[in-house]
Amino acid sequence: MDLNNIQRVYFIGIGGIGMSAIARFFNEKGVHVSGYDRTETPLTRQLAEEGMQIHYSDDVNLLDKDAQLVVYTPAIPGTHGELIWYRKNEYEVVKRSDVLQEITKELFAITVGGTHGKTTISTLTAHILRHSGYGCNAFLGGISANYDRNFWSSDKQVAVIEADEYDRSFLKLHPDIAVLTAMDADHLDIYGTEADMQDAFVQYTANIKPNGTLIAKLGLSRAGELKGDNKRWYHLKDSKANIYATNIRTVDGGYLFDVVEQDWHIHDVKLPIGGTHNIENAVAAITVAHLLGIDAAKIKAAIADFKGIKRRFEYLVKNDYQVYIDDYAHHPEELRALISSARGLFPDKRCTVIFQPHLYTRTRDLAAGFAESLSLADEVLLLPIYPARELPIEGVRSEILAEKITVPVQVIQKEDVLAWVKSNSAPLLITAGAGDIDQFRDPIKEILNGEKVNE
């Protein structure tokens, strides 16, 4: 696969967050880009406005028969008609991870992997490199609020890539700098056991190029097995790490802190977004930037200007009376960090969480952890499980979480969410999940701001 000689590329699942970044990569190179997705979304509308041709029905009469390369997401079932047609007719059909593999071969690659924090760290790292003038090509798993993009290009032969562990995709990447944030159990439908998943993360570090660097969170299990000719350990505040934060203060829903390394430090770093876990994410991004030789003053200025990522501890309403936060959290540890951080920032406000579980297998496998994390709230509303790529599993419903949660909880249907918000007081409201719960963001914001809602 020679990316430099491709003139036409077709995407099956073009509206996915990772797929759309690669589509934008080709589009900005002047390649003809077209594709299929199941439903129209704000992101697919953006792609169409940028010149890509997109349709929303699985129809071989609509696909590009002149495509030189076909890229598909592993979330697309093998029974998809267009995918079958391309394979039957012997087109070059690859996963998006295969394209990223080629990119990491050509560019100086900074990859961010781990079960939590990778979107924030990769986006913040790419933002620091862009804001400071260093430059990079960014392939992100979220929409940067600064640029309203999940991809941007640069003449600098450097790429920042979010390394997705689903379907073992990240094992195709060969980074010069690899960040590893966490190895908690997830995607057990793919890996089978937590041990097998950890094996994959160890292999991820084994793919670091010679003389490359691993930047890993201090305290990871199996840390002694992690590879990389050079290793740097980061942490929120543990002084045993090579780099960590200290003197942490809360300021207007964000934080002020110092970053300390043995021979280097930055005073009064201002992070405008909430979540103590995001301080640790910032420490990881700062470690990358420092390794690249970016000046401390430029790092500080970039972080102070960071507006966050859509659906990552995103403030949609924040005033003296009401705070509304929306977040992509879909794993127990992500929920724990989200809820505990929100409560720490707003300790006097009653906390209500509306959570949509994502995937039947994840809900089944991690039910106890979900219940424990959600019980950190004062009140929980559970939506039915969002199936994504899965078929229902008998006996696996949101009610299995409700039975284990120790605070007031109820399971409600999606059509009842806005009515609940209108008729109940929720001084600190959080919506969380990786499914389609994001459809309620704007209507809830309008209700809380006293605006007219189009239901």
| Partners of 232 in beta bridges | 215
Q: Residue 364: pLDDT above 50? A: yes
Q: Tell me which residue of 21, 345, 3 sits closest to 162, measured CA to CA.
A: 21
* pLDDT 10s digits, 278-334: 999 999 999 999 999 999 999 999 999 999 888 888 999 998 889 999 998 998 988
Residue with more model confidence, 186 or 67? 67
- Say if strands 264-271 and 409-411 run parallel, antiparallel, or are unpaired: unpaired
Buried b (16+ CB within 10 A) or exposed e, 366-390: bbebbbbbbbbbbbbbbbebbeeeb
452 has a pLDDT exceeding 60: no
**pLDDT tens digits for range 56-68:** 999 999 999 999 9
Task: Assess whether pLDDT exceeds 60 at residue 164.
Answer: yes
The annotated binding site is made up of 114-120
Q: Transcribe 337-395 into DSSP letters.
A: HHHHHHHHHSTTS-EEEEE--B-HHHHHHTHHHHHHHHTTSSEEEEPPPB-TTPPP-TT
What integer is the mean pLDDT of 17-35?
A: 94
For residue 138, the one-letter residue type is A
Contacts of 247 (CB under 8 A, 6+ apart): 257, 258
Tell whether the model's pLDDT for residue 455 goes beyond 70.
no
Q: Tens digits of per-residue pLDDT, 402-425?
A: 999 999 999 999 999 999 999 999
- Flag the least confident range among 21-30, 259-268, 328-337, 443-452: 443-452
Kindly tell me if the per-residue pLDDT of 69 is higher than 70: yes
From the annotation, which residues make up the binding site for ATP? 114-120
Phi, psi of 220 (to 5 degrees): -65, 140
Tens digits of residue pLDDT in 133-154? 999 999 998 889 999 999 999 9
Pair type for strands 213-217 and 149-152: unpaired
Rounded CA-CA distance 441/417 in Å is 11
Is residue 26 scored above 50 in pLDDT?
yes
Domains of the chain, earliest start first: 8-96 (3.40.50.720), 106-305 (3.40.1190.10), 314-451 (3.90.190.20)
For the chain, give the percent of residues with pLDDT over 90. 73
